[in-house]
Structure 1
């Protein structure tokens, strides 16, 4: 997943990212205007069509972030050990007064609570109040710029899940056919419902876990969201940095157990904003995220404002490929992810059976057919060692599947029967060199075809056997 920005300033640059291996384009709605976002969406769609790939677009809304106000010179120096006053005022700030755009400071932030500013650069603790504001003793000082973020990790602020800006942005996303929405600063599961409704009801919502309260309420978030992003930047401000690796592993594990999409983000290849090669520590960070079961890894400033975005995507892709190769070598059937075993369904049982059959028989390919993308998501979560080739008629569903681990989405015209579907897929696999004649594959589908029927059919098939007649009889177009 790559974040769009000033470094990706034209169609050629976008095409370069698609060719380099980008699967999902992230649009950060904390920056830019609607005109620039619409232009970028059109470039992404055009580049994907030219290259012949399904690329998902994720709209990352700004969310309800609390910020400081303005200072006389655009910034203020706050030394360690100083005492400052926080007040919900529009007045200009200075060394003794920090204006904050949250009106309920006195009601919601208790004495003893931590205050963190400027992405963790400045930290203090509330020592009291004077009726008009909070008194804060600074434990770590620094320069505070206009409109920087301010967080209260120990306090539950009364902020709704979406702002008026978010509402306007989500409406644009609906009009442009955005594939995913990432909800920022969610605190609990019910926050997801409001975002989902504003996003159009059917658009998948990814919950960004970036608040300590969100981590505490992870179970309720997993009940409502379609996926989770481990947003390590703000999470590392809210919680001690040394706890973040274990928290990341826990979030990824629980998200995978729930059968949802998992994304790891923030500073993964940060040095490549300027450097041509990642650091050894960054390579290890990406590989460890893969080993922990993340579905996707995300680039932020590296592609948005970096010097060579396509090179960063290539580096990230090569690290992931090698990490997955090693993982496949080490993994046995017992290592496969087991999720939702207590509520096994037709679809999950079929996906698990297909995964185990491919592994036990040494098949390189699993073929699936889907109307909604559900079959592909389930296969993805079982982490088969085989390639997952998913045939789907809907362009939007194919784009969404770009965020599924290990899935290759393929355009497919509906067929009247499962035999004709299998025959068409077989022809595609042979033509594209995915499989050879005589090679075994696992095919799964729902019956009856061309409906959102339960995935209830598993077929072990040898390429070239018996389906030829069905293909000749039913050939009405290319996959």
Structure 2
């Protein structure tokens, strides 16, 4: 299954896309990996979905990545005596620790960490920002605030705190149970962490995970942006979660932040996923709006590793059409005459490591000699990541003896992952690369390819060799 595009597609599974046949159709239409949203998925259903994805993987013979997205701390107000209340702009309203039904003057806030952390001047956004208040005073037990805009508040609506850094970690009790269940399957490749605020938030998860899954930090809070370089360094990948980011920050700042985060990840050689509302109208319509097409195209032009579908594939009426639309937008953008110039202009300087020197040379040789494909042997995945960081114009085949590595790399820009045994010697290394490039339709007889590998063979992290080879008439190396 050769994809004629470099950007990857991450599709969320849900009630509209949970049976094996539909997962197969989504993969066939272009989904490279699947997201399981733990906010709405029981442990039994999660295990069932994993089994179905792996059955589809076996059928298609391509490694498929699985991302489990942890819910994170959901902050909500309590309930009201009348279910809801109408407030007036300018009035005062109190959030307190009294577990009693709310009125139009106060409501229970069952989160002592908020009552303790909010300071005068901090904003409180209720119901995705539809109601905004500004804290006037706080004593650790209650917050007296003034209504700034909006009028309606109702039972258990969400609370966002763009100006407040909470002292709690990102893992709730539910998240810890979910993470344990995810790790117990030994079959999930990525875990997404919601509401990351600071680098320390990753420490607990990394300690529990012990390298068994990649950690993807969801950037949706302003506090994360203050220390974004440290967060990127401690993460294995990033997700630009534009939904909550657009609630907690001025909505007009989100496109610029998306570009900044995409470029920061590219410099660091870490995958970045752009998510939320990309083809939102396709939840109920068979075609997207022009603005949505432009939005997906912008992420592709910027060189994002992957674009994500949420409700469009999870609960929408047209999940397969949403995936195939996203794939066709990506293919068209990547053929655009401006695309390679934009990608090239953002190319980061290689770091002074052997792997980066080899990746840079492989790209330059492949483009100068118009070779068919770059083939890189990668055991841990790091060589594949560095090869993708160069964003070469030619395709990249990542060969790995480790199925977990190939699955994890399914989110990475431009990598066509193939699971194969380690080469036994130099000749086998070249023959195997030529044979797979031929079989996977990345090169035909007479084409030249470039191979990067490490000597001695099978030593992780030792990429130190480049070899140009011809594909022979039988798909083996010519000479």
TM range (shorter): over 0.9
**2:423 aligns with one of 412, 415, 435:** 415
1:79 Cα deviation after fit:
4.4
1:326 Cα deviation after fit:
1.7
* Inter-partner Cα distance in structure 2 for 1:75 and 1:35: 35
* Inter-partner Cα distance in structure 2 for 1:264 and 1:290: 9
**1:15 aligns with one of 7, 21, 24:** 24
* Inter-partner Cα distance in structure 1 for 2:249 and 2:409: 33
Aligned to 1:284: 294
**1:308 aligns with one of 318, 325, 329:** 318
Q: Helix, strand or coil for the counterpart of 2:238?
A: strand
Aligned to 2:47: 38
Q: Does the C-alpha gap of structure 1 residues 465 and 312 become closer, same or farther in structure 2, counting only changes over 3 Å?
A: closer
Give TM-score, length-normalised by structure 1.
Answer: 0.93
* Inter-partner Cα distance in structure 1 for 2:475 and 2:22: 43
Deviations 1:252-277 (A, max 9, x none): 11111111111111111111111111
Q: Does the C-alpha gap of structure 1 residues 435 and 353 become closer, same or farther in structure 2, counting only changes over 3 Å?
A: same
Deviations 1:239-294 (A, max 9, x none): 11111111111111111111111111111111111111111111111111111121
* Inter-partner Cα distance in structure 2 for 1:282 and 1:298: 13
Give TM-score, length-normalised by structure 2.
Answer: 0.93
Q: Does the C-alpha gap of structure 1 residues 97 and 350 become closer, same or farther in structure 2, counting only changes over 3 Å?
A: same
* Inter-partner Cα distance in structure 1 for 2:97 and 2:365: 62
Structure 1 vs Structure 2 CA RMSD: 2.2
* Inter-partner Cα distance in structure 2 for 1:292 and 1:69: 42
1:467 Cα deviation after fit:
9.9
Pick which of 208-217 and 59-68 moved more: 59-68
* Inter-partner Cα distance in structure 2 for 1:78 and 1:352: 60
Check the 8 A contact 2:283/2:312 in 1, yes or no: yes
**2:134 aligns with one of 77, 100, 125:** 125
Aligned to 1:235: 245
1:332 Cα deviation after fit:
8.6
- How many residues are paired up? 469
1:333 Cα deviation after fit:
9.4
Check the 8 A contact 1:447/1:453 in 2, yes or no: no
Check the 8 A contact 2:434/2:470 in 1, yes or no: no
Q: Does the C-alpha gap of structure 1 residues 468 and 86 become closer, same or farther in structure 2, counting only changes over 3 Å?
A: closer
What aligned pairs does 1:251-290 form with structure 2 within 5 A after superposition? 251-290=261-300
Check the 8 A contact 1:366/1:387 in 2, yes or no: yes
| Residue 223 in structure 1 maps to residue 233 in structure 2 | yes
Structure 1 runs (4+) deviating above 6 angstroms are none
Q: Does the C-alpha gap of structure 1 residues 174 and 328 become closer, same or farther in structure 2, counting only changes over 3 Å?
A: farther
1:209 Cα deviation after fit:
0.8
1:137 Cα deviation after fit:
1.6
Check the 8 A contact 1:369/1:445 in 2, yes or no: yes
Deviations 1:21-73 (A, max 9, x none): 11121111112211111111111111121122211011111112322122335
Q: Does the C-alpha gap of structure 1 residues 2 and 354 become closer, same or farther in structure 2, counting only changes over 3 Å?
A: same
Q: With CA pairs under 8 Å and 6+ residues apart, which has the higher RCO, 1 or 2?
A: 2
Check the 8 A contact 1:123/1:138 in 2, yes or no: yes
Aligned to 2:124: 115
| Residue 364 in structure 1 maps to residue 372 in structure 2 | yes
**1:461 aligns with one of 463, 466, 469:** 469
Check the 8 A contact 1:174/1:200 in 2, yes or no: no
Aligned to 1:477: none
**2:63 aligns with one of 54, 60, 79:** 54
* Inter-partner Cα distance in structure 2 for 1:462 and 1:104: 64
Check the 8 A contact 1:232/1:265 in 2, yes or no: yes
* Inter-partner Cα distance in structure 1 for 2:256 and 2:345: 20
Check the 8 A contact 1:60/1:183 in 2, yes or no: yes
Aligned to 2:408: 400
Q: Helix, strand or coil for the counterpart of 1:331?
A: helix
Deviations 1:382-433 (A, max 9, x none): 1011111111121111111110101111121223113202102212322343
Structure 1 regions of 5+ residues with no counterpart? 472-479
| Residue 352 in structure 1 maps to residue 354 in structure 2 | no
What aligned pairs does 1:130-145 form with structure 2 within 5 A after superposition? 132-145=141-154
Q: Does the C-alpha gap of structure 1 residues 9 and 462 become closer, same or farther in structure 2, counting only changes over 3 Å?
A: closer
* Inter-partner Cα distance in structure 2 for 1:457 and 1:465: 25
* Inter-partner Cα distance in structure 2 for 1:337 and 1:90: 55
Aligned to 2:448: 440
Q: Helix, strand or coil for the counterpart of 2:217?
A: strand
| Residue 204 in structure 1 maps to residue 214 in structure 2 | yes
Check the 8 A contact 1:336/1:382 in 2, yes or no: no
* Inter-partner Cα distance in structure 2 for 1:402 and 1:104: 38
